[in-house]
Amino acid sequence: MHDLKNKTAIVTGAARGIGLEIARTLAEYGVSVVATDVDEEKLTKSVQDINTGQPSSSVVSRHLDVTCEESWQKLIGFVDQEIGDLNILVNNAGIMKSQPFMSMSIEDFRNAYTINVEGAAIGIRTAFEVMNRSAEKSNGYGSIVNISSIYGVVGGNLNAAYCASKGALTLLTKALAVEFGHGGAKLRVNSVHPGGVDTELGRGGMSAFVETGAAPNVEAVESMIEMSTPLGRMGRTDDIAGVVAFLGSDLSKFITGAEFVVDGGFTAA
Ligand SMILES: NC(=O)c1ccc[n+]([C@@H]2O[C@H](COP(=O)([O-])OP(=O)(O)OC[C@H]3O[C@@H](n4cnc5c(N)ncnc54)[C@H](O)[C@@H]3O)[C@@H](O)[C@H]2O)c1
């Protein structure tokens, strides 16, 4: 895709699911990717698979716990010293623990916020300087892509903590797009909002409907999603990764503070 070749990206939560597909897709388009995750063992294997499957790809793996400032500083220090530039930051790492609001612990509520919102906020603050410097050098803009959810736009059953956190991430995105833009920083900030995608997180969400008696089995939840989706199927990881590649590229050079809903029309109905 348009001019992605000379760019460098960090992807968080890249050991599996959507993050892994984003790392793979960016690498396919020629981006040098630093794939990160708290699950180092799985990440190492996933990155090996990408590099074996696409011999021309340049993906390295690095441990990162997005909630830990020191972990971010170590990662950005590595990028700064060993790679030099950083053009794309994809804040994808996230958790979803679907459960009824009244039986949820406050610790679970805070956990969703800590990982889904603070994780991205710490990442952006730590990466700001090197991204801005890289953008000025290339006479363009760095791109920050926050992976929110349709549940950062509309409410979802059994997902109060997740919705609250993803809604916060949506507005963190807009607030930073405004502040960075007006402040003269060379950074665009956008959010992507997947609908149900078939990953471990997505499957966990569907199981919660069965566990709480809201649906007889996972197949029933799946067919309910399919029937309510104008394009007739659940999302796939590559549906999301393509949009992230577009936002990382200069094809989207005049887009900041925008929400990209990628749900086959689920929330349009
Ligand atoms: N799958 C869906 O249906 C769906 C829908 C909407 C939004 N999303 C969002 O997309 C993103 C990716 O979801 P997924 O479905 O691929 O999930 P997933 O559970 O398959 O993968 C999430 C990855 O994040 C990592 N992670 C968790 N906590 C971390 C931390 N503190 N530091 C670093 N890494 C950490 C995990 O180890 C895992 O590899 C999440 O932000 C999720 O909220 C997913």
Rounded Cα distance between 122 and 73, Å, is 10
Which of 12, 199, 229, 260 maximizes ligand 1 atoms within 8 Å of its Cβ, making it the mutation to test the pocket? 199
What are the strands of the beta sheet with 32-37, ordered from one edge? Answer: 58-63, 32-37, 8-11, 88-91, 142-147, 187-194, 259-262
As given in the structure block, the two tokens for residue 8 are 């460098």
pLDDT for the residue 90: 99
pTM more than 0.95 = yes
Residue 3 banded pLDDT, cuts 50, 70, 90 = confident
Q: Smallest Cα–Cα separation from 94: which of 199, 13, 204? A: 13
pLDDT for the residue 56: 87
Q: Smallest Cα–Cα separation from 165: which of 174, 157, 155? A: 155
pLDDT for the residue 57: 84
CA 137–ligand 1 middle distance (angstroms): 32
Q: Which domains does the chain have, with CATH numbers?
A: 8-195+236-262 (3.40.50.720)
Q: Smallest Cα–Cα separation from 6: which of 33, 27, 30, 35? A: 30
Which of 12, 16, 18, 206 maximizes ligand 1 atoms within 8 Å of its Cβ, making it the mutation to test the pocket? 18
CA 154–ligand 1 middle distance (angstroms): 19
Q: What percent of the chain has pLDDT over 70?
A: 99
pLDDT tens digit string along 138-171?
Answer: 999 999 999 999 999 999 999 999 999 999 999 9
pLDDT tens digit string along 27-81?
Answer: 999 999 999 999 999 999 999 999 999 888 889 999 999 999 999 999 999 999 9
Looking at the chain, which runs of residues are DSSP E strands?
8-11, 32-37, 58-63, 88-91, 142-147, 187-194, 259-262
Tell whether ligand 1 has an atom less than 6 A from the beta carbon of residue 95. yes
